[in-house]
Structure 1
Amino acid sequence: MTHERPAGAADIRRWRQYLADEQAEAAVYRDLAARRTGEEKEILLALAEAEGRHEAHWRALLGDQAGTPRRGAMRTRFLGFLARRFGSVFVLALAQRAESRSPYDDDDDATSTMAADECIHEEVVRGLAARGRQRLAGTFRAAVFGINDGLVSNLALVLGIGATGVPTATILFTGIAGLLAGALSMGAGEYVSVRSQRELLEASTPNPATRTVLSHLDLAANELTLVYRAQGMSPERAEVHAREVLRTVAIATGPVKVAPRGGLSPAVDEHEAIGTGLGAATSSFCFFASGAILPVLPYLFGLSGPAAIIVAAVLVGLALLATGAVVGLLSGGPPLRRALRQLLIGFGAAGVTYLLGLLFGTSLA
């Protein structure tokens, strides 16, 4: 788009800021690309190149009024700092949010191509972030669930028991018992869950010995089609694929897999994705315990009464805000809103237990 009206001081300032932001965003993508290889590296470098084209647009509008280089927006510079040091899915999630806030849709000085680029960039970064989210989905779910469960359940237990008016030592030992009981329960449950899932997957894994008999099958009967039909293929596609496999077997020098190409994922990959039972149990135990210890800390350090309750609530509240913000960052949603949601849910559950403790304490007095 050609700028037809005379450029005012406000236009120059805005263009200079756009120029600085494009330079900073391109640097973020280059920094992220430096920590990756293969296809992801190529995609990130292509994004940096696109930001360079946007930079050239603003340079052309500014001409000799570009002035000294300005600094990009604070959030973009913060992204660059994270990208240089971590290059993690958190940075991609933040970059996804940054791309969604492009001002070019409402700016007549930006071309429609630039506005479309920014919209597409959001989807590209979303796709890259989704890869990272998928890689850590299981661990992340266990971490958030374990820590949050430990925080809320033990805070509710400590506040509920404390509200009845029992001695401080009783509250302390109750909190420790709740920590150990919950962590052990979480660990045992996760172990059984993962082991059961692995056993179900193993039951669905083709028998390796089947591969050795393929060359002896009756080509006319072609019973291999039944294997692929049982795995979900249509009769026509199963027959075509079975004939391809048998033809390959006739000329191959090595074994051929029974699992259909483009069909169900190999069970071994699914086994690797869900991890081991012992690893999952250990992680769940540690995650729960790390959350459940916070409500107990004030009592461990000798506090009692309202002071201990307030300190425990503050510690748990900060932890809930932190876990909620992390969920928001990784999901591409507003971190503050997710943090407040986590806080309200946790304090709501603990508050109900505290009120019940006051009720029972009064009735028993």
Structure 2
Amino acid sequence: MNREWLEKDFYKDLGVSSSATQDEIKKAYRRLARDLHPDKNPGDSTAEDRFKAVSEANAVLSDPEKRKEYDEARKLFAGGGFGRGGFTPGAGYGQPGGFSGGEFNLGDIFGPGANAGAADGGLGDLLGGLFNRGGTRTSSRPRRGSDVETETTLGFREAAQGVTVPLRMTSPAACTTCHGSGAKPGTSPRVCPHCNGSGVVSRNQGAFGFSEPCEDCRGTGSIIDDPCVDCRGSGIQNRTRTITVRIPPGVRDGQRIRLAGQGEAGLRGAPPGDLFVTVHVSQDKVFGRNADDLTLVLPVSYAELVLGTTVSVPTLDGRVGVKVPPGTADGRTLRVRGRGVPKRDGGAGDLLVTVKVAIPQKLDDNASEALRRYAEAEKTSGFDPRAGWAGA
């Protein structure tokens, strides 16, 4: 548990309630990150601080395990409970109905077996990291960097065919000067002598034994005597970088793409988080999409439907001739196999061409006369477009 979490209200930072869903948290973070991004507010230190606070809040609340740990800790420590000076460990000790006997370790109550059968992640799991269990020390492990989310917008054909795009983003990354160690180049961190590298120390307060983060090394297990001047010993710094992202063919609107190891840098050389890119796809003037099939509407004349024709239509990689059989009904869909959206297995969907009659708004005298002669010939032949319609 990060002790600094108890001093912050991550829900307030994101402007959501403590009962907010993961989707509500995600939407709130995206909105705030977009408004507070350093690229959008150059030179605004207030916006930059808010951006950092929002990013930290999202890193905790978007991770179900971290959020659960944070929520339980807030409940436990609400109103100063168990805080320094806010808790009286001897209260009730040796009193009627109170504790009696020798030294009492609260970790024994909440340790394994004290709550047999309880669900994982209960109070015992939370307190296990705060209270000393039998005087043993747990090793300090570097915390993985937080995941980072960003968005990009692609054209319809780019999304269908796949494209490589550069993403420019500002986020915490490993310091390029010390390569994430936090120490000045040419020096190295040393093991903390106070906690022997464990990151935690034990102390007794009355009848209770506590384990808490080591104040000398701030829970990291190591001390940097000569910190890096660029990152001030943290091993990370905000950096604007350009990442080349390969968008695979057939990506859909709203799809998230994961780039392992491209997220926020871990503290002092810990593994970085991942980058998640949400893709938005613009509409196309010609094409639509139905799963892996491309769709388009082909304007044709009445004569082309009656007599039949072959029409050249566009595809993602050129044009193809589509045969319209004689007597084709208006609104019929013709299928061209293998000319749709590329699939991951190497194949492709189909091109679905729907024919639609285009009606001329104005005819010259010759065309009008020809159409009248055709109408008379049509009646003479016995054709009735409404035969059998509505009881006729």
Give the TM-score category using the shorter length. Answer: under 0.3
TM-score by length of 2: 0.21
TM-score by length of 1: 0.22
Rg: which structure is higher? 2
Would you tell me which structure has more helix in proportion to its own residues?
1
Would you tell me which structure has more strand in proportion to its own residues?
2
